[in-house]
Chain A
Amino acid sequence: MIKGFLTHFGRYILMLKQMFRRPESGRVYYKEFFHQCNEIGIGSLWIVIIISLFLGAVTTVQTAYQLVSPLVGLELIATIIRDSTFLELSPTVTCIVLAGVIGSKISSELGNMRVSEQIDALEIMGINTHTFLILPKILASIFVIPCLIVLSMFLSVLGGYLAGTWSGILNPTQFEMGLLLDFVPFNLFFGLIKAFVFAFIITSVSAYFGYYVKGGALEIGRSSTKAVVVSCIIILLADYGLAALLL
């Protein structure tokens, strides 16, 4: 078990190291980067929008339900939504979902290329397949995923605002007051750091599981499941690690 883990870990590090080579053709890589941005960003835009609105809405309703003391003002609900979405809900929950959406896609795409000898075909042409197949995906996702997270933060607060005002939990003025109360810009920054780290984890881990598939269609399915599960676990570990380190 430990040996298995170390083998995987070693190969993963080697993969990352081999990724940083000079591209054969800048133009092709440039195009590939934008293609991946599009795939990753546009491909998961809808799910991010839906999740974020609901995360905010549900948090509002539940916080209101729990806050029964007359001693605290209702505007605190907005403060709580702001802090919990910026710190945890938007970056972590969204990235866990993205691990499912993007992770399984990357890993099955690379797995299919491996099994159908497309990766071998690239190798024969003299192309560094680590660089060509993995680097653009990682760069695209550490660029696009933080953007999605910022969008998610905004939409979560919006979801909270809509749910709160429509159901009469608090009025717009209270919400705005709460939103600006004791705002710590670092929290926003911290959420973005998480987004960067998680984006890297999702893409590199699922690329690893896809790139090294052996066998056939069955193994592609298995490895994409593994990619998602392992990405989620590492995201949660990193989440804890970052919180312990930076807060």
Chain B
Amino acid sequence: MIEVKNLSKAFSGKVVLDNVSCNLYKGKMNLIIGTSGSGKSVFMKCMIGLIQPEKGQIFFDGKDLLEMNKDDKKELRKNIGMLFQGSALFDSMTVEDNIKFPLDMFTNHTLKEKKNIVNGVLDRVNIDGANKKFPSEISGGMQKRVALARAIVLKPKFLFVDEPNSGLDPKTSLVIDKLIMELTREYEITTVVNTHDMNTVLESGDNILYLDYGKKGWEGTKEEIIFNDNARLNDFIFASDFLRAAKEKRMKELS
């Protein structure tokens, strides 16, 4: 579980995060939603320590990231997996070597054990026969899955995912979302996902945080979000006329 308390961050005077607090739970899909430029990526980068916030606390299972020394941080990092927006696979390495890399760096397994683990996670993300290919030789959806395999190969307790669906078609998006959700439940991972994809929100939002240009705008579950009474959030989720009409119809049916 991750507890964020009063997190604030500004870039040369421009406030990007303004006193954000939230809880992110174990074994749940914790979604951070908001329009482009609302600060989702910055929020995530603060949580994993790539950006230093001005103010606030970030507790990973009770330990404040911002107070940790180098060794504690190193230990924590081994428990964090991240799936980047552009996959961020190492393009000088094959698919197999990409996934093997964290094992090479941080474990003492034999080559055979490592190969088995790699094939296990590749199997888990439904990739077959791409071991020797380079990232540039496989499709965007496959790259995402390989990156996901790399993120989970050390069995992390925390998984961060930045815009899993950007650049993917709706069908592939659903496959990725489903995979992330299954892995979250299976390994009891505290998963944090940045998204502005409503499919993802309604499909997998166990715990949703709406960022409204750096401020916490709303918090709740996927069941609650449909009937929320926050005008700006409604504008954001029911952006199209079609969805707005669908919501009104459903509201009428219920009342």
Residues of B within 8 A of A124 (CB): 48, 50, 77, 80-82, 160
The residue that A120 contacts in the complex, of B80, B84, B89, B106, with Cβ under 8 A, is: B84
Min Cβ gap A6→B in Å is 19
Asked if A25 is at the interface of the complex by the 8 Å CB criterion, the answer is: yes
User: Chain B: which residue is nearest A24 at the CB level?
Assistant: B105
Asked if A126 is at the interface of the complex by the 8 Å CB criterion, the answer is: yes
User: Chain A: which residue is nearest B78 at the CB level?
Assistant: A126
Q: B88 and A117: CB pair below 8 A?
A: yes
Q: A28 and B90: CB pair below 8 A?
A: no
User: Chain B: which residue is nearest A113 at the CB level?
Assistant: B90
Residues of B within 8 A of A116 (CB): 86, 88, 91
Q: B105 and A25: CB pair below 8 A?
A: yes
- The bracket for how many chain B residues form the interface is 20 to 34
Interface residue SS majority, chain A: helix
Asked if A121 is at the interface of the complex by the 8 Å CB criterion, the answer is: yes
Q: B104 and A28: CB pair below 8 A?
A: yes
Asked if A127 is at the interface of the complex by the 8 Å CB criterion, the answer is: yes
Min Cβ gap A22→B in Å is 11
The residue that B77 contacts in the complex, of A25, A28, A112, A126, with Cβ under 8 A, is: A126
Asked if A38 is at the interface of the complex by the 8 Å CB criterion, the answer is: no
Q: C-beta contact mask, B72-94 vs A, less than 8 Å → 1, else 0?
A: 01100110111011101111000
Asked if A27 is at the interface of the complex by the 8 Å CB criterion, the answer is: yes
Could you list which residues of chain B lie within 8 angstroms of chain A, going by C-beta atoms? 48, 50, 73-74, 77-78, 80-82, 84-86, 88-91, 101-102, 104-106, 160
Could you list which residues of chain A lie within 8 angstroms of chain B, going by C-beta atoms? 24-25, 27-28, 112-113, 116-118, 120-121, 123-127
12 A-B pairs with C-beta separation under 8 A: A24-B105, A25-B104, A116-B86, A116-B91, A118-B89, A121-B82, A124-B77, A124-B160, A125-B105, A125-B106, A126-B77, A126-B106
